Amino acid sequence: MPWAGVAALDEDWLVYVGPIAATAQHAHHATQIIVSTDGPELRLRVADRVVRAPTIIVGPNVAHAIESDATCSIIVFTRPESHLSDALRERVLDPAPFAARSFRAASTIEIPTRESAVALVDRITSQLVGPQPFVRRDRPDVVTRALAILPDALIHGSVALDAIAQECGVSASRFRHLFMASTGSSWRAFIRWERLVRATASASTGASLTAAAHDAGFADAAHFTRTFRAMFGLTPSEVLFSLRWIAK
């Protein structure tokens, strides 16, 4: 069954290991890594062209669709403002919408524990960004402040750009510019991604679609489903409840 693999969610990434199948075209705000095991090359339609390679990296907000099935692949989504996402954008994409690599993972990949999931992500990303430490540019204090207050604001407050900018002591236009320059994502797009991750985390603990949607601040399960499909090319019911989640 497609998408019936194993998944783990970390503060900075989500990793999936297992079978994959074709998806509708979609775009999200994470930098994505898709790695084949010893099977056929992956085939993705990215930015209106077909890309074939054992490993494909897709930049944030780039429309793409998986066009090949595989019995086992690895997919890593990196949080837009994470250190890892910065490293991939600067060292691998820079500034292309996608990149193809010859790196291929072993066919016997397993992540039975959280530690093995962390080790797998570290191994894959090290293959791509190289051994040299990545030094991230300091984020503006305004962006750091916005990211710190976001978790509570998603549920109990307002995440409207004007409200967050006021909380951070700058104008809305200044905040919009600083956030985009620092993360490569608009504030609105980033909020959609954060809601999606929160809802996915709730579903991973056994919450229903409706409960997961409400926990993340979506209007209802239908809103969550539309957003999930737009970002992953699949509905949450096609994916979330067939996975085996590794607990934090």
Averages of pLDDT over each 10 residues, the chain, 248 residues:
86 92 93 86 90 94 92 90 88 91 77 88 90 74 93 85 94 94 86 90 89 91 94 91 84
- Of 73, 100, 129, the one marking the end of a domain is 129
* pLDDT for position 94: 83
- Using alpha carbons, list the distances in angstroms from residue 16 to 111, 118, 158, 165: 9, 12, 32, 35
**CATH code at position 162:** 1.10.10.60
- Of 109, 129, 149, the one marking the end of a domain is 129
Whether residues 16 and 125 share a domain: the answer is yes
* pLDDT for position 206: 87
* pLDDT for position 136: 67
Q: What is the pTM for the complete model shown?
A: 0.90
Contact between 38 and 64 (Cβ < 8 Å) = no
Q: Which tokens in the block code for residue 17?
A: 């290991």
pLDDT digits (tens, 9 = 90+) for 216-243: 989 899 999 999 999 999 999 888 888 8
Whether residues 99 and 195 share a domain: the answer is no
Q: Which residue in this structure is represented by tokens 């497609």?
A: 2
13-20/70-78 β-pairing: antiparallel
Whether residues 165 and 188 share a domain: the answer is yes
Instruction: For residue 93, tell me if it sits in a domain.
Output: yes
Contact between 229 and 19 (Cβ < 8 Å) = no
Whether residues 125 and 145 share a domain: the answer is no
Number of compact structural domains in the chain: 2
- Of 106, 129, 152, the one marking the end of a domain is 129
DSSP state of 240: T
Name the packing angle between helices 172-183 and 141-156 (round to 10°).
100
Whether residues 156 and 123 share a domain: the answer is no
Which among 87, 86, 88, 110 is positioned nearest to 99, based on CA atoms?
Answer: 88
Whether residues 112 and 193 share a domain: the answer is no
Please tell me the distance from the alpha carbon of residue 68 to that of residue 89, in angstroms, as a whole number. Answer: 25
Domain that holds residue 147: 141-246
Q: Which tokens in the block code for residue 159?
A: 């995440």
